[in-house]
Amino acid sequence: METILSLQGLTHYFGGLRAVHDFNLELPQGALWGLIGPNGAGKTTIFNLITGVYKPTEGKIIFNGEDITGLKSHLIVEKGIARTFQNLRVFNGLTALDNIRIARQAKNNISLFDSFLYTRKFYEEEKQAKEEAMELLKIFNLQSRAYTLAKNLPYGELRRLEIARALATHPKLVLLDEPAAGMNPREVGNLMDLIHWIREQFKITIFLVEHQMRVVMGICERIKVLDFGETICDGSPEYVKCDPKVIEAYLGRVENA
């Protein structure tokens, strides 16, 4: 199968702290893979490197055969990589619908000229954007919230809204950073089913970061385990679950007990 994202020897330092060391990944097109590890392992840093928030100290990021290392974040979105954030980043003062519409504009084909002159093209694009945003809200069971301000939505719904917003940019690859954080077990179960379904429906590739191991076990085809910036295990959920190094990383620390 074709590789959509290739990470080659990614290393990143924050001052003297080595947050990620020699991370490698060959993510096949259409895959649903997971990246897990205790708090502070370097998971979010890897997402920040892929999405151009930081430039890696060393290593290469190849997306769809193109070297995107060091490219600015907005250009990476245009290439087809979308993400969600561990700490939600929705616009509180906007409705659920507008949160999605705004994301889509990153990909819209409207020039400033069109929007100033209210051309037909502008209206058509707007109409299509709204229909598509409503469609996404429906998929995430948020249609009744379309006109609710994000700040009035419960936490679980905000998490879903963020994923919907990521999909609005028509990505080829979606990076989800702890999508289940703060959810109750029933919400987590539903979300995992939804993520699985989205992958099939939209024919996208998903790379998922999780802190809790059990969350990804049910849906990821392959899992990488990070600890202190190092890859300590890589394999199927069954394999990873039984690896003594993984058990030690998780059970050896009070915060994960």
Ligand X SMILES: Nc1ncnc2c1ncn2[C@@H]1O[C@H](COP(=O)(O)OP(=O)(O)O)[C@@H](O)[C@H]1O
Which residues make up the interface to Mg ion (CB under 5 A)? Answer: 43-44, 86
233 contacts ligand X (rule: CB under 6 A): no
Question: What contacts 137, CB < 8 A, 6 or more positions away?
Answer: 96, 97, 100, 143, 145, 146, 164
Judged by beta carbon, residue 45 or residue 99, the one nearer Mg ion is 45
85 contacts ligand X (rule: CB under 6 A): no
Q: Which residues of 124-156 are buried (b: 16+ CB within 10 A; e: fewer)?
A: ebeeebbebbbebbebbebeebbeeebeebeeb
φ, ψ for residue 125, nearest 5 deg: -65, -40
What is the total count of residues that contact ligand X (CB under 6 A)?
11
Judged by beta carbon, residue 98 or residue 230, the one nearer ligand X is 230
What is the β-pairing status of strands 81-83 and 230-235?
unpaired
The item of Mg ion, ligand X, none sharing an interface with residue 106, based on CB under 5 to 8 Å by kind, is none
| Nearest distance in Å: CB 194, ligand X | 22
Q: Is 91 helix (H, G, I), strand (E, B) or coil?
A: coil
Judged by beta carbon, residue 59 or residue 80, the one nearer ligand X is 59
* Half-sphere exposure of residue 134: CA atoms within 13 angstroms, side-chain side: 8
| Nearest distance in Å: CB 202, ligand X | 25
State the alpha helices, DSSP H only, in 90-234.
Answer: 96-104, 112-117, 120-139, 155-167, 185-202, 213-217
Judged by beta carbon, residue 43 or residue 145, the one nearer ligand X is 43
The item of ligand X, Mg ion, none sharing an interface with residue 251, based on CB under 5 to 8 Å by kind, is none
Q: What is the pattern of x (binds ligand X, CB under 6 A) and - over residues 1-20?
A: -------------x--x-x-
Q: What is the pattern of x (binds ligand X, CB under 6 A) and - over residues 21-60?
A: ----------------x-xxxxxxx---------------
Judged by beta carbon, residue 86 or residue 119, the one nearer Mg ion is 86
State the alpha helices, DSSP H only, in 142-256.
Answer: 155-167, 185-202, 213-217, 237-242, 244-251
| Nearest distance in Å: CB 84, Mg ion | 12
Inter-residue contact 173 to 84 (CB < 8 Å): no
Q: Which residues contact ligand X (rule: CB under 6 A)?
A: 14, 17, 19, 37, 39-45
